[in-house]
């Protein structure tokens, strides 16, 4: 039985035998686990972790980045394929709507603005592809954040005020975290707890454990930043394609203007004019070509601006959620694990 002399290091519960105290502590730390199931069947009789299990957990942490990167790139490839397919479907619908719309109607103008006229509509198709790829990427990151919040809400650390942790408690927290990780999968919060507990177990220094939390948190932040590469690329390409469509439309209008062949049309004679005065006018076909080129320039810009605003709002909201989660996870581990360690 261990008694403390400081009122700041007093446990809120009365002293109890070590095994009974650890069992109660396990039930508190792992509410998602079955109550009658052993939390660590590979642990030794005195509660210490089996070295083989410790090496296994380290090997999982070392080997996981390669597996994670393979899964990440595979997921990005799926997002690109889905974006291509969805873009093709949208273009087919828009082109069909443009072809079937009555000439000069609002529907024809609308489908033309959405890229219904080919090959000018390929610029709008590129904008659609970037838009869908960005949405698929943000949706995947939102799903991952949801899984991370499930692990965060598991309450793996004691949150009672003035609750202190001894070295054997830290070791038990690590074993409980490994067991929870088997049920919920790997997550940022479980990795922070495991690495901090492992570092403290090796040198019994809370300062070193705090430094490990900082290092691992920065590693996870950089990993999440790498997942934004496709989203950020598409976010940049949407206005770029809009500007490209504007330049191409204006260039086509200027070139078509140079190819216009004025038609000579004579005016009607009056009683005071002896002969008709010829006038040069532009044919309706040439005028329609100029209007289509200018329409491509302006409608492409409008489409890129609208979709770019949507993507920017979604991405900024996601970046805020990611930053808040990383900051909250690090604060949770520091406040409820590192700062509670008592030697």
- Domain boundary assignment for the chain: 16-230+331-340
- CA–CA gap between residue 126 and residue 131 (Å, rounded): 9
Tokens 């949706």 belong to which residue? 139
**pLDDT tens-place string over residues 231-259:** 999 999 999 999 998 888 888 777 776 66
How many angstroms separate the Cα of 203 from the Cα of each of 215, 221, 241, 272?
17, 26, 56, 112
- CA–CA gap between residue 337 and residue 158 (Å, rounded): 8
pLDDT, residue 329, reads: 92
- CA–CA gap between residue 275 and residue 82 (Å, rounded): 68
Residues of the chain with pLDDT below 70 are: 1-74, 257-290, 292
pLDDT, residue 72, reads: 55
8 A C-beta contact, residue 209 and residue 267: no
- How many C-beta atoms lie closer than 10 Å to residue 133's C-beta? 26
- How many C-beta atoms lie closer than 10 Å to residue 149's C-beta? 16
pLDDT, residue 251, reads: 83
Residues contacting 116, CB < 8 A, separation 6+? 94, 95, 97, 98, 99
- CA–CA gap between residue 47 and residue 172 (Å, rounded): 8
pLDDT, residue 267, reads: 54
Closest CA to 326 of 179, 141, 174: 141
- CA–CA gap between residue 285 and residue 298 (Å, rounded): 20
pLDDT, residue 270, reads: 54
How many angstroms separate the Cα of 208 from the Cα of each of 22, 81, 195, 201, 216?
25, 45, 11, 10, 12
């Amino acid at each position: 039985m261990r008694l403390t002399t400081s009122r700041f290091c007093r446990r809120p519960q009365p002293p109890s035998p070590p095994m009974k105290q650890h069992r109660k502590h396990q039930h508190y730390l792992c509410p998602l686990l079955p109550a009658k199931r052993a939390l660590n069947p590979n642990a030794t009789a005195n509660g210490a972790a089996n070295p083989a299990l410790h090496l296994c957990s380290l090997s999982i942490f070392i080997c996981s980045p390669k597996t994670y990167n393979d899964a990440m790139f595979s997921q990005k490839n799926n997002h690109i394929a889905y974006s291509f397919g969805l873009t093709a479907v949208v273009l087919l619908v828009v082109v069909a709507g443009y072809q079937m719309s009555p000439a000069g109607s609002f529907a024809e103008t609308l489908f033309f603005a959405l890229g219904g006229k080919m090959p000018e509509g390929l610029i709008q198709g590129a904008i659609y592809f970037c838009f869908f790829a960005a949405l698929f990427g943000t949706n995947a990151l939102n799903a991952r954040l949801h899984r991370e919040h499930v692990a965060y809400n598991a309450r793996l650390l004691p949150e009672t005020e003035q609750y202190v942790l001894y070295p054997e408690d830290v070791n038990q927290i690590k074993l409980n975290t490994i067991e929870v990780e088997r049920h919920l999968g790997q997550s940022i919060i479980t990795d922070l707890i495991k690495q901090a507990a492992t570092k403290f177990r090796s040198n019994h220094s809370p300062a070193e454990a705090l430094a490990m939390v900082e290092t691992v948190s920065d590693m996870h932040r950089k990993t999440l930043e790498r997942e934004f590469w496709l989203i950020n690329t598409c976010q940049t390409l949407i206005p770029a394609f809009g500007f490209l469509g504007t330049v191409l439309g204006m260039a086509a209008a200027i070139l078509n203007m140079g190819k216009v062949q004025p038609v000579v049309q004579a005016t009607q004679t009056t009683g005071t004019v002896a002969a008709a005065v010829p006038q040069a006018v532009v044919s309706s076909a040439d005028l329609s070509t100029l209007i289509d080129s200018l329409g491509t320039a302006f409608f492409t810009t409008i489409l890129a601006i609208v979709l770019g605003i949507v993507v920017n709002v979604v991405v900024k909201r996601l970046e805020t959620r990611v930053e808040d989660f990383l900051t909250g996870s690090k604060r949770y581990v520091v406040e409820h694990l590192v700062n509670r360690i008592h030697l």
